[in-house]
């Protein structure tokens, strides 16, 4: 009985929005394909020791903040290393990505929305067909989910000429409505690193 309850909690649906499959220019699609097919592991590299020290402080602080949501230290560390790598790789603030993940899935790896969005960043399965290798199950893998989510969000920000409010709405399938962008922006503040 306990296993069943645990399984239901892990797989319970998220109430994330519905990214829309829309026509995109071949150049945009190809750029996204290139981003998600890059098989390099999420390993940070730094130009200076000061940058590395700042990153390690960030990692420690975020690990403390996330301890309750992700109790396993190894999982938490891998998650944060991957969030940092994929978000900075896509030119996104890691705090914004953490805020988005909090809203989208509450940090649940196997979250599934009522419309089928999957994983931490609630990526819709059609993306695996449009820009991936057609294996939608990979959207439950941490690195794949974060890589897709960050690449898609970056593309939406570019499509919306830097307007984060509209890009977040587009990411959630609620473009033009304030609830989702406002929730992400509010949660973004919870994950800012101020040292």
Question: How many degrees, rounded to 5, is the angle at CA 105 between CA 183 and CA 60?
Answer: 85
What is the 8-class DSSP label of residue 13?
A: E
- What is the H or E stretch that residue 79 is in? helix 73-89
- How far is CA 68 from each of CA 49, 72, 106, 188, rounded to the nearest angstrom? 30, 9, 11, 18
pTM of the model: 0.82
Which tens digits make up the pLDDT trace of 34-55? 666 666 667 888 999 999 999 9
Maximum CA extent, the chain: 52
Q: What is the pLDDT along the chain (195 residues), one digit of tens a residue?
A: 444 334 434 443 334 556 666 666 666 656 666 666 666 667 888 999 999 999 999 999 999 999 999 999 999 999 999 999 999 999 999 999 999 999 999 999 999 999 999 999 999 999 999 888 889 999 999 999 999 999 999 999 999 999 999 999 999 988 889 999 999 999 999 999 987
The full set of domains in the chain, from first to last, is: 40-190 (1.10.530.10)
| CA-based R_g, the chain, Å | 16
Quick one: tokens of 33? 């394909």
């Amino acid at each position: 009985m306990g296993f069943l309850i645990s399984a239901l909690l892990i797989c319970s649906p998220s109430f994330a929005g519905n990214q829309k499959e829309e026509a995109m220019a071949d150049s945009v699609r190809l750029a996204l394909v290139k981003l998600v097919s890059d098989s390099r592991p999420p390993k940070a590299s730094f130009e200076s020791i000061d940058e590395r020290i700042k990153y390690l402080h960030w990692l420690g602080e975020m690990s403390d903040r996330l301890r309750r949501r992700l109790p396993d230290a190894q999982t938490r560390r891998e998650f944060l290393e991957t969030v940092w790598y994929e978000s900075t790789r896509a030119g996104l603030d890691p705090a914004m990505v953490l805020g988005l993940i909090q809203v989208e899935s509450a940090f649940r790896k196997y979250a599934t929305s009522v419309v089928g969005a999957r994983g931490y960043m609630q990526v819709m399965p059609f993306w695996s067909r449009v820009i991936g290798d057609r294996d939608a199950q990979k959207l439950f893998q941490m690195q794949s989910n974060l890589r897709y989510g960050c690449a898609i969000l970056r593309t939406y920000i570019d499509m919306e000429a830097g307007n984060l409010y509209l890009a977040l709405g587009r990411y959630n399938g609620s473009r033009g409505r304030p609830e989702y962008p406002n929730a992400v922006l509010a949660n973004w503040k919870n994950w800012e690193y101020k040292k």
